[in-house]
Amino acid sequence: MDKTSLIFRVGETPILVDAGTYCYTADSIARKEHRSGRGHNVLLVNHADQADLDGQATFSAPRFGAMGISLEQGETPSDAASVFHLWHDGYRRFPGIGRVERRIYCLADGIRIVDQLDGQGTASLELIFNFHPSLSIALEGSLVYVISDKQPICTISCEAGWALSTEHGWFSSSYGYREANTRLVVSACCELPIRATTTFTIH
């Protein structure tokens, strides 16, 4: 469930991480947990994964519909070195829900993530961000401070009015090994279509 997900480093310090593959067959419950959307840095809609995993075999390939990634040409704003455009249609299986699009703007001092969801009606949205186990985070209003060795390494600016919370997650750097990490959840109930901007500023 990693469509439109990203990983992010500041120098040699990993900030946003992928859950990794803890195991393939020994523990199917753990495999599903590491494979799920909450184990990746994505937009989730109505508390559902990007594609239906229920009732599928351990190694089945979920159906996302159309999906892709491209480097946008000729549309780069003055403050961005490049812009990546990612999208998928996994949520079109639900009435009123359209395409998920994400643009990642590469800035001189960080990145700006713009998420867009097409459709109509109201939807519950969650932006999921998984941090490396060596990091801690502090919440202050619509800001999040990412802390390494007791010093802020970057600041995350979230949409005003969206709720910020943390939860337990898992990170696996190799098969058979995993350790706890912190997961940031930025959530809101919104009228569609919607655009949400999240900015990571390096200190």
pLDDT in tens, 158-183: 999 999 999 999 999 988 899 999 99
Question: pLDDT tier at 47 (50, 70, 90 boundaries)?
Answer: very high
The first and second tokens of residue 53, run together, are 């995993």
Count of other CB atoms within 10 angstroms of residue 112: 19
**DSSP notation for 21-83:** ---SSS-HHHHHHHHSGGGSS-EEETTB-SS--TT--TT------SEEEEE--S---TTEEEE
Beta-carbon contacts of 102 under 8 Å, excluding residues fewer than 6 positions away, are 4, 43, 85, 86, 87, 113, 114, 115, 116
Cross-strand bridge partners of residue 137: 146
- Contacts (Cβ under 8 Å, ≥6 apart) of 73: none
Spatial CA neighbour of 4 closest among 48, 63, 69: 69
Output the six-digit token pair for 2.
């990693």
Q: Cα(76)–Cα(107) distance, rounded to whole angstroms?
A: 11
Q: Which residue has the higher pLDDT, 54 or 167?
A: 167
Q: What is the reported pLDDT for 20?
A: 86
Tell me the torsion sign for CA atoms 104, 190, 41, 136.
Answer: positive
Q: What is the band of 85 on the pLDDT scale with cuts at 50, 70, 90?
A: very high
What is the chain's alpha carbon radius of gyration, rounded to the nearest angstrom?
17
Among 1-5, 68-72, 115-119, where is mean pLDDT lowest? 1-5
Predicted local confidence at residue 153, as pLDDT: 96
Backbone φ and ψ for 193, nearest 5 degrees, come out as: -75, 160
Q: What is the CATH number of domain 8-202?
A: 2.70.98.70
Quickly state the pLDDT bin for 56 (edges 50, 70, 90).
Answer: low
pLDDT (0 to 100) of residue 79: 83
Rounded to whole angstroms, the Cα distance separating 102 from 67 reads 11
Q: Which residues, listed in sequence order, are joined to residue 125 by a DSSP beta bridge?
A: 45, 188
Q: Which two tokens stand for residue 136?
A: 């801690």
Cβ neighbour number for residue 25 with a 10 Å cutoff: 8
